[in-house]
């Protein structure tokens, strides 16, 4: 599936996960904003492929659980290459930045 057809964010997924509780959604998204940036930095700074893979899998789980569809897709696509000495993280970084900007702008 092309990343052009994947939405940046799936608000319906977040709504289902929170049983429609708006206050809980706001709390989850506030945590998402901080955690996505932190995990991406850990992926970029990882000393080896094993640590990088662990942090990437944590980022995938965060994205899937909150509805960050495009970020989850990009992270899963990188999973097979993450153990390389110097994996290309540009698209993943872009997906994190795009998702964070989307959430902030949309005020979901």
What's the average model confidence in pLDDT over 60-83? Answer: 92
Residue 2 pLDDT greater than 60, yes or no: no
CATH code for position 42: 1.20.120
The answer as to whether 15 is a domain residue is yes
Q: Is residue 5 part of a domain?
A: no
Please give the residue range of the domain that contains residue 37: 11-106
What value does the mean pLDDT take over residues 61-68? 94
Tell me the per-residue pLDDT of 72-100, one tens digit each, with 9 for 90 and over: 999 999 988 887 778 899 999 999 999 99
- Point out the least confidently predicted range of 42-46, 57-61, 81-85, 102-106: 81-85
Give the total number of structural domains in the chain. 1
pLDDT of amino acid 108: 62
What pTM was estimated for this model as a whole?
0.88
Q: Report pLDDT digits (tens) over 26-35.
A: 999 999 999 9
The answer to whether position 78 is within a domain reads yes
Q: With respect to residue 6, please indicate whether it lies within any of the assigned structural domains.
A: no
> Does some domain include residue 17?
yes
Query: Residue 3: what pLDDT?
Result: 57
User: Mind giving me the DSSP string for 3-35?
Assistant: TTSS-S--HHHHHHHTTT-HHHHHHHHHHHHHH
Domain presence at residue 19: yes
In a domain, 2, yes or no: no
10 class by beta-carbon count within 10 Å (0-12 exposed, 13-18 middle, 19+ buried)? middle
pLDDT for 89 equals 93
Domain assignment present for 1:
no
């Amino acid at each position: 599936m092309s990343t052009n057809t994947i939405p940046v964010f799936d608000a319906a997924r977040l709504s289902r996960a929170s049983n429609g509780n708006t206050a809980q959604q706001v709390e989850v998204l506030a945590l998402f904003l901080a955690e996505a940036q932190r995990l991406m930095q850990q992926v970029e700074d990882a000393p080896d492929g094993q640590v990088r893979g662990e942090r990437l899998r944590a980022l995938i789980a965060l994205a899937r659980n909150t509805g960050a569809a495009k970020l989850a897709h990009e992270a899963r696509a990188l999973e097979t290459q993450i153990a390389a000495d110097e994996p290309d993280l540009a698209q993943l970084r872009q997906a994190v930045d795009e998702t964070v900007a989307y959430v902030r702008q949309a005020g979901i």
